[in-house]
Structure 1
Amino acid sequence: MTANPTSAAPEAASRLQHYPITFFATTMGLGGYTLALRAATTPFGFAPWVWLVALAVTALVLVLVALGYLAKAIVHPDAVRAEWKHPVRLAFFPTVSISVLILATAALPLFPVAALWLWGIGTIMQTVLAIAVISGWISSRAFQQAHLNPAWFIPAVGNVIVPLAGAQMGYVEISYLFFSAGLIFWVILLTLVFNRLVFHDPLPARLQPTLVIMIAPPAVASVAWLRMTGQMDAFSHLLMSFGFVFAALVAVQLPRILRLPFALSFWALSFPVAALTISSLVHFEATGTRGYLWVGGALLIGLSVLILGLLGRTLLAMLRGEICQPE
Structure 2
Amino acid sequence: MTFAANPAASLPAPRSSVKHLPVNLFGAVMGLSGLSMAWRGAGPVFGTSPAIGDAVGVVAVLAFLALAAGYLAKWLRYRDAVLAEFNHPVAGNFFGTITIAILLLSSVVGVHHEALGQAVWTLGTVLTIALTFVIAGRLFRGKGDPTHVVPAWLIPGVATLDIAVAGGTMPMAWAHEVNLFAIAVGTMMALVFFTMIFSRLVHHDPLPAGMVPSLIILIAPFEVGFLAYVNVTGHIDMFAGMLFYFGLFLFLLLSWRVFRRPAPFAPSWWAISFPMAALSNAALKYAAHVQTGVLAWVAGLILLALTVAIAVLSVRTLHGLFTQRLLAG
- TM-score normalised to the size of structure 1? 0.92
Residue 242 of structure 1 corresponds to 246
Q: Structure 1, unaligned stretches of length 5 or more?
A: 1-10
Distance in structure 1 (CA, Å) of the matches to 2:325 and 2:208: 18
**Displacement after TM superposition at 1:87 (Å):** 1.6
Amino acid at match of 1:200: H
Residue 273 of structure 1 corresponds to 276
| Structure 2 counterparts to residues 12-161 of structure 1, below 5 A | 15-139=17-141, 142-161=143-162
| Structure 2 counterparts to residues 199-218 of structure 1, below 5 A | 199-218=203-222
Runs of 4+ in 1 over 6 A off after TM superposition: 11-14
SS at match of 1:94: helix
Distance in structure 2 (CA, Å) of the matches to 1:106 and 1:207: 29
**Displacement after TM superposition at 1:186 (Å):** 0.8
Residue 7 of structure 1 corresponds to none
Amino acid at match of 1:221: G
**Displacement after TM superposition at 1:235 (Å):** 1.2
Percent identity for Structure 1 against Structure 2: 33
Compare 20-29 and 284-293 and name the one that shifted more. 284-293
Cα shift readout 1:206-256 (whole Å, capped 9, x = no counterpart): 111100001111101111111111111111111111211211221221334
Compare 131-140 and 188-197 and name the one that shifted more. 131-140
Distance in structure 2 (CA, Å) of the matches to 1:49 and 1:76: 40
**Displacement after TM superposition at 1:14 (Å):** 6.2
SS at match of 1:294: helix
Distance in structure 1 (CA, Å) of the matches to 2:101 and 2:16: 26
Distance in structure 2 (CA, Å) of the matches to 1:55 and 1:320: 26
Distance in structure 2 (CA, Å) of the matches to 1:227 and 1:33: 18
**Displacement after TM superposition at 1:176 (Å):** 1.2
Cα shift readout 1:245-276 (whole Å, capped 9, x = no counterpart): 21122122133452x11110101111111111
Q: Structure 2, unaligned stretches of length 5 or more?
A: 1-12
Amino acid at match of 1:39: G
Answering whether residue 325 of structure 2 is matched by residue 322 of structure 1, we say yes
Amino acid at match of 2:247: G
Compare 51-60 and 159-168 and name the one that shifted more. 159-168
- TM-score normalised to the size of structure 2? 0.91
Distance in structure 2 (CA, Å) of the matches to 1:152 and 1:68: 24
Cα RMSD of the aligned pairs, angstroms, is 1.7
Distance in structure 1 (CA, Å) of the matches to 2:50 and 2:259: 34
Amino acid at match of 1:158: A
State which of 231, 235, 241 in structure 2 corresponds to 1:231. 235
Query: Any conservation in 2 of the 1:208–1:257 contact (CA below 8 Å)?
Result: no
